[in-house]
Amino acid sequence: MTSPGPNPALTELPRPLVAVMSSGFFGFFAHAGFLQGLTDLGLRPDAFAGCSSGALVAAFAAAGVAPQDMLAMFQRLTRERFWDPPRGLSLIRWLVSGLRGRSGYLAGQAFENLLNEFLPAARFEDCQRPCLMVALEIGSGRRVVLDRGPLAPAVRASGAVPGLFAAVPWGQDLLVDGGLVDKAPLMACVERMKPASLVVHLLPSASLETPLAATLGRTLAPLRVHGRAVDAARQQVFQDQLEAVRKRGVRVVETLAQGLPRCGPRSLQRGPAAFAAARRNTLAQLAEVCPTN
């Protein structure tokens, strides 16, 4: 793909500048493509922040892994490497107990082991650039900002989708997916990192891209409406944070991921196409950025 070269309107954005990546189910290929687009445009962030899949890519980027190297790494990922459900007698006991004693289908330890294997940095403090991510503490109901200490458990916690992955122990509490409380951690980023500019990559929730009539017409409609309502609330929180951040004088440039192939545990093969589409999307949208917008 031919790069359009640096965009002065982007390279002259006020510093420090943070790349912020949203939550999005298995959206790490797309976020890596977004960072490749920034590289193509000559924009090098001073720090990285994210939730869920965005936290994963933020960690690798802050640790010094280039987007193309992320792509190569993610392409080698197979479902079996991170899929650690109960098996055999353990599964039978769990089912007979009424699903007691386990907070998610997957333990999540295999995912953390992968992170420890491939992340160049063991701790936030070891990263080449600052990094921040968010998780939700389900006992207290509060947002937890993670920016120091062991890196792999923090990434695991920020992406611990409730029901799918087990919640991650945190003191006397448990942490789950930060995307539940922050679609993208804008305010946490502004309060902790004190940036002058944010470049945000937003992956829309799939439910919000489906016409409402189609949602009602599908099987298990009540559950789908519930999911859509949660996603709509998260989107509103994002918009509220976006407005608040801009009122503080922080320059925000948004990139909305549109029409990208969606990946999942059984569709990782779509990843390279998602990377390429996000890269093109970023180049197209940020090429239109001018000094005043």
**Per-residue pLDDT tens digits for 53-80:** 999 999 999 999 999 999 999 999 999 9
Residue type, 163: G
Q: Which residues contact residue 74 at a Cβ distance below 8 angstroms, ignoring those fewer than 6 apart?
A: 28, 29, 32, 268, 271, 275
Percent of the chain at pLDDT above 90? 91
More confident residue, 23 or 7: 23
Q: Which of 35, 110, 122 is nearest to 78 (CA)?
A: 110
Domains of the chain: 8-288 (3.40.1090.10)
- Positive or negative, the CA dihedral 253, 51, 73, 263 is negative
pLDDT at 3 over 90: no
**So what's the pLDDT on residue 1?**
62
- Whether omega for the bond prior to residue 204 falls within 30 degrees of 0, making it cis, is no
CA dist 22 and 80 (Å) reads: 25
The single residue of 84, 177, 182, 231 carrying the catalytic annotation is 177
Q: Tell me the longest C-alpha to C-alpha distance in the chain.
A: 62
Rounded average pLDDT over 223-229: 94
Read off the pLDDT of each residue in 142-159 and give the average, rounded to a whole number: 98
State residue 289's pLDDT score: 75
Q: CA-to-CA distance for 79 and 100, rounded, in angstroms?
A: 25
pLDDT single digits (tens) 73-100: 999 999 999 999 999 999 999 999 999 9
Q: 206: how many CB neighbours lie within 10 A of its CB? A: 13
Catalytically annotated residue among 22, 23, 40, 52: 52
Mark whether 177 is an active-site residue: yes
What does the mean pLDDT of the chain come to?
95
73-107 core/surface letters (b: 16 or more CB in 10 A; e: else) = ebeeeeeeebebeeeeeeeeebeeeeeeeebbbbb
Specify the pairing of strand 131-137 against strand 173-177.
Answer: antiparallel
- Has residue 15 got a pLDDT over 70? yes
Q: Decide: 134 and 158 in contact? Cβ < 8 Å.
A: yes
Q: What was the pLDDT predicted at 287?
A: 84
Smallest CA-to-CA distance from 137 within 80, 181, 77, 105 is with: 181
Question: Does 188 score more than 90 pLDDT?
Answer: yes
Question: What whole-number distance in Å separates Cα of residue 254 and Cα of residue 20?
Answer: 9
Residue 222, amino acid: P
**pLDDT over threshold 90, residue 6:** no
In this prediction, residue 201 carries a pLDDT of 99
Query: Does residue 12 or residue 268 have the better pLDDT?
Result: 268
- The pLDDT-based confidence of 36 (bands split at 50, 70, 90) is very high
Separation of first and last alpha carbons in the chain? 27
pLDDT for 159: 98
Give the residue-averaged pLDDT of 133-141: 97
Is it the case that residue 8 has pLDDT exceeding 90?
Answer: no
Q: Cβ atoms within 10 A of the Cβ of 143, count?
A: 16
Is 97 part of the annotated catalytic residue set?
A: no
- pLDDT tens profile 243-292: 999 999 999 999 999 889 999 999 999 999 999 999 999 999 998 775 55
